[in-house]
A and B are shown apart, each in its own frame.
Chain A
Amino acid sequence: MSEGLKRRDFLKVLGAGGAGVATAGCSTSEVERLIPYVIGNEEVLPGVPTWYTSTCRECPAGCGIHVETHSGRATKVEGNPEHPINRGNLCARGQSSVQGLYHPDRYRGPVSQEGAQALNPTWGTAERILADRIREEQAAGRGAGVVFLTQSYTGSMESLVNEWVAAVGGRRVVYDTWADQPRALDFSQADVLVSFGADFLETWGSPVEYAWQFAQMHSFREGRRGKFIWVAPHRPLTGLNADQWIAPRPGTEIVLARALAGQVDVATAAQETELPAEIIQHLVEEFRAGNGIAVGPGAAVAGANASELRDVINGLNAGRAGAAPAAPAQPQQITTLIEQMRAGQIGVLMIDAPNPVYTLPGGLGFAEAFQQVPTRVSFSPFPDDTASLATLNLPDHHFLEAWGDYTPRPGVVELIQPVMRPVFNTKQVGDVLLSVGRQLGLTVGGGATTYYDYLQTRWQGISGGGDGWRQALQRGGMFTPAGAETAAAIDALFGITGAAVAHAPAPAATPPATQFNAAAQTPPSSDAANLTPAVTSEPATQTQGGGTGQAITFEGDGDANLHLVVYPSYRFYDGRQANRPWLLELPDPVTKVPWSSWVEIHPATAEEMGIEQGDVLEVSSPFGRLETYAYVYPGVRRDTVAIQTGLGHTTFGRYTEGLGVNPNVLLGPGVDQRTGQLASYGVRVRVSRISGAPDQGGYNPGPGLFEQGVRVQHDREIAQAISVAELMALSTEGHPSIPGSETEMATLRGAGGFMPRSQTTDPAGGYPPPETNYGEYVPGNTRWAMVIDLQRCIGCSACVTACYAENNIPVVGPDEVKRGRELSWLRIERYWGVSQDNEEALGDHGTDDTRFLPMLCQQCGNAPCEPVCPVYAAYHTPDGLNGQVYNRCVGTRYCANNCPYKVRVFNWFTYKFDEPLNWQLNPDVAVREKGVMEKCTFCVQRIREKERGAAGELRAVRDGEVVPACVQTCPTEVFVFGNIADPTSRVAQAATSVRGYRALDIINVQPSIVYLKKVTLHEPARGGHHVEAGAEGAAAAH
């Protein structure tokens, strides 16, 4: 336990990673050149982390990261604060990259299929196999039959691969899922933001950066708050964060966009989109008033007219501050490639692309065609659907083990450096190409022997000499204001396609408060949902939308009456992260379903078809069928069903195999007429109920859909909201209590830190009595506290994964989760903003006022959990934390029973970390054994570390110096953390907001977390009321 076990695990890591120590030590060539970010020298002090700068490659966004390594082991990934893209923040996928690094199912080394059995050749042999095959093809004059199917590279890799393919005489085909989405937009200053299905908070473009921009644009600051309108047939996480949901008839999004652009008059648009004219009218007016920006199209609504829609949107943004046109997609020849594969014209197919067997539409039949290719080479480090069909696996490094550079957008050129010795016997693609090239007697890469040399030579140009290179590595790359000449030079050097237009600085337009009154009158609407008939099977009258910006037709059998939306997964992107235990256990931010797939269906439609939550449904299209569970969800049109991609892999390692379904099999071969982009939008499906929900009762839950938590707050005012109008009225009152005055601070300490000044403070006034000292028995001592702004929280759950990574929180698996035994210290609660009534939550307006609330230990000053512990395992630290001493706990669970927030979690078993996932464990945090209660302590290990450092420098800890993991990673900067006893601290200032309240304040546990109410444009739905009102509600409901 705590000390003992921690030390032991720490040594185990050291022992297991002899190589790791050598790495850090260190003799091997590549590692000598690693440049630690913080500590100058190469020496590694046990227990003292070394930080490396690199770039996250979990998705095309290319966020800058710092990697914490202990004794040569990467333990945690955090955002690089100086990075222009993500400002030190990171999403859940980025946080989980260490689990990709240490994934137990990675290839241990190259694998070659000789007939039936698989051999494990050395790298030399494996490369020779490939070289020989290529030579054969060349000899046979089928050089063109050597095809390299790659993701869309940039920078060094782009040029190397092109050079190599040319030298071989082969062909390169680029296939990437959503790499072509614009990553250079800036809508942080927009007043009205309209998204045409672009889930920019989850996967679209550059999610972490866009999330921050969205928070800036959407949060309430000095009387200003933007409005966000979501246009799509279905509401994913991004849509749930919208103030208004407009769901036109599927396929007619483009008509609405053109109405905005004035190309179509409102009446026609209304008739086409089946939306009420006034909605469109109001939208057009709103968009033109102030600074309106449109984004899109998202992958979910990218149909045959996707490129046209994108052009219309770019037209809308033209001249608008902060908007940049998207890069036109390079037409994909994947479809033609597949035909050639079928025709047997392809001899060698090398794949370094996102798992095409899984991600490509079932209608294309890639898998079957793939079998026709005699030599199938996969560079994937994981045995995914594609790699398991390959005849030769040359596993790539994980990006934390590899060298490289990447250019997510103009003006940003990033460096990727290895932070540790490779975990397994893998080799990065660049090196493989170079050595295969040598074996073929070609001179590629200017005679560079390793990819690292190739990279560094190229970089001499920009970084300019050894020290520049070193600085670039420390910084994480070269960041220049886009538009500058250097940027242009760099872009040229790296052959960046679609150079961006200059970003003009956004004018800080501050519209008058009246704008809100106007906004407040808009009906909160999911209008389409309640206006459209449940069945619209008649095909659209337009011709297949070609060039005329017409709506798209949905193909499907006659009686297939429901439009299908296949939307990207926030947790698994296109499925590439679906093997990460953390992400599998993390409930989906919208449906709160972990470890499973589902099909979202509107309550009315479900009722019509006699479907209930959790029923097993069959969804079939002309191209494929699947069976999964029903999720009854008012955030989808009545004539539409939505399925999330990501799960349903045939092979992808022990954690995800046989989990969920792959909706891509339902999609057809439809493509964008103009660009040849694959169109995922435009299929109608037949949905039929197969059986009821599997029995979830009893101790053994068995299979089935499990939705965590509840949809309504049951009149508990956990997540509160306040309308803009009311807020304006309040803020004109001025600030009755500014912390700082002595009397005020006395009360503050008396209250275990502070009294939030808001409507929820106790009527009794200065409770508790000043002479009592709840939680603070060293007067004037530090009191750690947190402020959480619900208006900024988008529910993305990056903080949850960061907490898992920092605090060695084990994953318990689906069955245990169904018993409510997940161990997450921090959870995001998702409430439809309604009080008691599930019917209301399932109504058409159920999703209009959704509240996301991060719930973690409130570190109560008057903590109910502490006095009930018989062995002092739970006690109060002098700086106001609810300490939890693991090795003193005997596991009576009384503290958890008495915790009103239910944030204490119990180790029901001794959970195991599959080797080598245990290499990720943070040596600063104890690994808990069975029978022990655990909980959030504001990352006390980080607090103590900073305190030690400050003590060493004979100074006090600075405000903002201590950063818990959740605070560190939050993309929208929801959290403010610090010492509330210091009136000048940011947290003390933030706590005095008029929006401030404390959850369940009525039971007087004096929590040290202040929530700031969500700000709604309309009157908030019930649930934001006071308890008295709620009680009446309860009485009525009873």
Chain B
Amino acid sequence: MATEIRSVFHPDVASYEQVNRDAMRLLTKPGPGYLALLGLSIALVGMAAVAFFYEVYYGIGYAGITNPSGWGTFITTFVFWVGIGHAGTLISAILFLFRAPWRQSIYRLAEAMTVFAVLTAALFPIIHIGRPWFFYWLLPLPSQRQIWPNFRSPLLWDVFAVTTYLTVSSVFFYIGLIPDIAAARDSTTVPWRKKVYTVLSLGWRGTDREWKNFTRAYLFLAALATPLVLSVHSVVSWDFAVSIVPGWHTTIFAPYFVAGAILSGVAMVVTIAVPIRKIFRLEAYLTDLHFDRMGKLLLLTSCIVGFAYSMEYFMAWYSAELFERDVFWDRVFGQYWWAGWSMIICNAVIPQLLWKRNIRLNLNAFFIISIFVNIGMWYERFVIIVPSLSHSYEPWKFLNYHMSYTEAAILLGSFGWFFMWFLLFLRFLPSLSIAEIKEILPPPFRAHGDHHGVHAGEHASVDEMPAGYRERQIETR
């Protein structure tokens, strides 16, 4: 009497073929709801484009930024999206290195989110500069007078960090996609899709040679992406930490920003994964277990961020440094109290609810919490950037910042831009990692003539399996 053996992660997935069928289900003809969302996103992008060209034509003055607050919504949103772009690589690369099997079904979504978030973020340095038509002067090219850019400027570090991160995460994303595109190629019946997938899959057939090199290459890419993802937000944080502005000039910034980035990223993954699971009925793949673990990850990073906040305020008080003190006083009781408090409550307080398991597993609650964290993380960047600038050393130039309509339009447009790409991705590329999910499914064995079943004891190579995989065997006894 053989017991059905299923993956502890995906007990509802019966066979390899089912994975293909379910993944392909997303690639069918979209419904009206989808089209409405897509249309909305594109409309937002159009609105932002209008606002942007308005600013280019008449001048950046139509943004609310002033002297002294030279940076405002644009840089805030830039940092926000770069932060969002961290969870994907974290889940796909770091958890891969840790051999955490629960990543398999979620990481494709996260990685797509990463690529599009960074794609969004990369727009803002161009949008925010005074003469966007000269943005290429920031690239490492010599001017006519053979002057190269200034490699000592944190902004140039940004250029390198963000472009590298965009390249590497896109490559990582695409490499992981190749076998699944091949699967799509083999299963689709739509002629044009077949053509496109044939080209994109580069003629992948899943031979032993391909798999051998693929797994190694993927491992190395993960190994490279891991330090990269940690470095990117550190570099972004140095934009601020390297300056002398009170409230920016802090050594805590690099870890603080990275933790914040992961917090916001995971929150965004949840924000995206919950509706997708519901709409596309992917309960078999995005199981409670996944949300449980993401909830723990969110909780952890939220605690780290909360600790960083408290350290900031403590140091401001403990250093007895006048300028620092005034800035942080402003954030809590000054003219920016509203921003400061929404940051603390959304990022450090509300996520504490996730200590309770049933809240982690209550997707509606979790979804709402993730929304709060998203808002809170935008405010975190706002609180870091604006109050520090509008209240720095020179008292004569204390002046508050007010967001303008063009800035608001471009902020909304950035969400439109992000979701536009994401929605297109959902319909045209496999958003479940077909091949990798199969890694944690029980392979078909003929032993005892029973398909999909086997006595664990008889299984030849249990002992060579990595921990994460053996776990399922043991648990399913």
* Direct touching of A and B (C-beta under 8 Å): yes
Chain A residues in the interface with B (C-beta under 8 A): 697-699, 708-710, 712-716, 718, 816, 819-821, 827, 829, 831, 855, 864, 867-872, 888-894, 896-898, 900-902, 904-910, 930-933, 1000, 1003, 1005, 1027-1028, 1030-1032, 1034-1035, 1038
| CB of B19 to closest CB in A, whole Å | 47
Q: Which residue of the partner chain, among B137, B393, B403, contacts A716 with CB atoms under 8 Å?
A: B393
The answer to whether A931 and B70 touch across the interface, beta carbons within 8 angstroms, is: no
The answer to whether B129 and A1034 touch across the interface, beta carbons within 8 angstroms, is: no
- Say if the beta carbon of B193 comes within 8 Å of chain A: no
- A272 and B325 alpha carbons, distance in the complex (Å): 51
Q: Which residue of the partner chain, among B60, B64, B129, B393, contacts A1000 with CB atoms under 8 Å?
A: B393
| A to B CB contacts below 8 Å, 20 in the list | A709-B395, A709-B396, A715-B322, A718-B396, A819-B399, A827-B396, A829-B396, A864-B243, A868-B153, A870-B155, A871-B137, A871-B138, A894-B154, A902-B396, A908-B61, A909-B58, A932-B130, A1000-B393, A1030-B322, A1031-B325
The proximity string for B residues 30-65 relative to A, scoring 1 for CB distances below 8 Å and 0 otherwise, is: 000000000000000000000000000011110011
- A699 and B407 alpha carbons, distance in the complex (Å): 11
| CB of B465 to closest CB in A, whole Å | 50
Q: Which residue of the partner chain, among B65, B320, B322, contacts A893 with CB atoms under 8 Å?
A: B65
| CB of B49 to closest CB in A, whole Å | 19
Given contacts A872-B147, A892-B155, contact A820 B66 (CB under 8 A): yes
The answer to whether A907 and B67 touch across the interface, beta carbons within 8 angstroms, is: no
- A954 and B134 alpha carbons, distance in the complex (Å): 41
| CB of B167 to closest CB in A, whole Å | 20
- A469 and B396 alpha carbons, distance in the complex (Å): 51
Q: Which 10 A-B pairs have the closest CB atoms?
A: A891-B130, A931-B130, A908-B61, A893-B70, A909-B59, A902-B397, A931-B131, A930-B59, A900-B393, A699-B404
- Say if the beta carbon of B152 comes within 8 Å of chain A: yes
The answer to whether A897 and B59 touch across the interface, beta carbons within 8 angstroms, is: no
Q: Which residue of the partner chain, among A698, A907, A1000, A1034, contacts B130 with CB atoms under 8 Å?
A: A907
| Chief secondary structure at chain B's binding surface | loop
The answer to whether A909 and B61 touch across the interface, beta carbons within 8 angstroms, is: yes
The answer to whether A893 and B397 touch across the interface, beta carbons within 8 angstroms, is: no
| Chief secondary structure at chain A's binding surface | loop
- A890 and B394 alpha carbons, distance in the complex (Å): 25
Given contacts A889-B131, A1000-B393, contact A897 B70 (CB under 8 A): yes
- Say if the beta carbon of B364 comes within 8 Å of chain A: no
The answer to whether B130 and A930 touch across the interface, beta carbons within 8 angstroms, is: yes
Question: Which residue in chain A gives the minimum CB-CB distance to B131?
Answer: A931
CB neighbours of A892 from chain B (8 A): 125, 128-130, 155
CB neighbours of B415 from chain A (8 A): none
The answer to whether A698 and B322 touch across the interface, beta carbons within 8 angstroms, is: no
Question: Which residue in chain A gives the minimum CB-CB distance to B72?
Answer: A893
Question: Which residue in chain A gives the minimum CB-CB distance to B399?
Answer: A820
Given contacts A896-B70, A901-B394, A1031-B325, contact A906 B130 (CB under 8 A): yes
- A263 and B220 alpha carbons, distance in the complex (Å): 101
Q: Which residue of the partner chain, among B59, B155, B394, B405, contacts A699 with CB atoms under 8 Å?
A: B405
- A869 and B389 alpha carbons, distance in the complex (Å): 17
Question: Which residue in chain B gives the minimum CB-CB distance to A932?
Answer: B130
The answer to whether B402 and A697 touch across the interface, beta carbons within 8 angstroms, is: yes
Q: Which of B394-424 contact A (CB under 8 A)?
A: 394-399, 402-405
- Max chain B C-beta neighbours (<10 A), residue from A820, A909, A1032, A1034: A820
CB neighbours of A708 from chain B (8 A): 396
CB neighbours of A1032 from chain B (8 A): 320
- Say if the beta carbon of B365 comes within 8 Å of chain A: no
Question: Which residue in chain B gives the minimum CB-CB distance to A1004?
Answer: B244
CB neighbours of B156 from chain A (8 A): 870
| CB of B248 to closest CB in A, whole Å | 8
The answer to whether B389 and A870 touch across the interface, beta carbons within 8 angstroms, is: no
- Say if the beta carbon of B68 comes within 8 Å of chain A: yes
Q: Which of B148-162 contact A (CB under 8 A)?
A: 149-150, 152-156, 159
Question: Which residue in chain B gives the minimum CB-CB distance to A855?
Answer: B396
Q: Which residue of the partner chain, among A819, A871, A931, contacts B59 with CB atoms under 8 Å?
A: A931
Q: Which residue of the partner chain, among B61, B129, B242, B325, contacts A821 with CB atoms under 8 Å?
A: B61
| CB of A819 to closest CB in B, whole Å | 5
| CB of A867 to closest CB in B, whole Å | 5
- A1028 and B150 alpha carbons, distance in the complex (Å): 36
CB neighbours of B393 from chain A (8 A): 716, 900-902, 1000, 1003
- Say if the beta carbon of B355 comes within 8 Å of chain A: no
- A169 and B305 alpha carbons, distance in the complex (Å): 92
Question: Which residue in chain A gives the minimum CB-CB distance to B390?
Answer: A820
Given contacts A870-B159, A1035-B320, contact A890 B61 (CB under 8 A): no
Q: Which of B101-146 contact A (CB under 8 A)?
A: 125, 128-131, 134-135, 137-138, 143
Given contacts A868-B155, A890-B137, contact A1031 B322 (CB under 8 A): yes
CB neighbours of B154 from chain A (8 A): 868, 894
The answer to whether B130 and A716 touch across the interface, beta carbons within 8 angstroms, is: no
- A933 and B131 alpha carbons, distance in the complex (Å): 11
Q: Which residue of the partner chain, among A713, A871, A1031, contacts B395 with CB atoms under 8 Å?
A: A713
- Say if the beta carbon of B329 comes within 8 Å of chain A: yes
- Say if the beta carbon of B392 comes within 8 Å of chain A: yes
CB neighbours of A902 from chain B (8 A): 67-68, 392-394, 396-397
The answer to whether B152 and A867 touch across the interface, beta carbons within 8 angstroms, is: yes
Given contacts A892-B129, A894-B155, A900-B393, contact A1003 B244 (CB under 8 A): yes
Q: Which of B177-229 contact A (CB under 8 A)?
A: none
CB neighbours of B399 from chain A (8 A): 819-820
- Say if the beta carbon of B326 comes within 8 Å of chain A: yes
- A671 and B396 alpha carbons, distance in the complex (Å): 43
Given contacts A897-B389, A1034-B326, contact A890 B131 (CB under 8 A): yes
CB neighbours of A897 from chain B (8 A): 68, 70-71, 243, 245, 389
The answer to whether B402 and A889 touch across the interface, beta carbons within 8 angstroms, is: no
The answer to whether B68 and A890 touch across the interface, beta carbons within 8 angstroms, is: no
CB neighbours of A891 from chain B (8 A): 60, 129-131
- A1033 and B61 alpha carbons, distance in the complex (Å): 37
- Max chain A C-beta neighbours (<10 A), residue from B128, B322, B329: B322
- Say if the beta carbon of B321 comes within 8 Å of chain A: yes
Given contacts A710-B395, A890-B135, contact A868 B129 (CB under 8 A): no
CB neighbours of A931 from chain B (8 A): 59-60, 129-131
- A907 and B159 alpha carbons, distance in the complex (Å): 24
- Max chain A C-beta neighbours (<10 A), residue from B129, B135, B154: B129
- A113 and B290 alpha carbons, distance in the complex (Å): 88
The answer to whether A870 and B394 touch across the interface, beta carbons within 8 angstroms, is: no
- Max chain A C-beta neighbours (<10 A), residue from B64, B67, B147, B402: B67
The answer to whether A712 and B395 touch across the interface, beta carbons within 8 angstroms, is: yes
Given contacts A716-B322, A716-B395, A931-B131, contact A869 B150 (CB under 8 A): yes
The answer to whether B325 and A864 touch across the interface, beta carbons within 8 angstroms, is: no
| CB of A673 to closest CB in B, whole Å | 47
Question: Which residue in chain B gives the minimum CB-CB distance to A874?
Answer: B150
CB neighbours of A898 from chain B (8 A): 243-245
Question: Which residue in chain B gives the minimum CB-CB distance to A867?
Answer: B152
Given contacts A868-B154, A896-B67, A898-B244, contact A718 B60 (CB under 8 A): no
| CB of A202 to closest CB in B, whole Å | 22
The answer to whether B153 and A821 touch across the interface, beta carbons within 8 angstroms, is: no
- Max chain A C-beta neighbours (<10 A), residue from B134, B150, B152, B159: B150
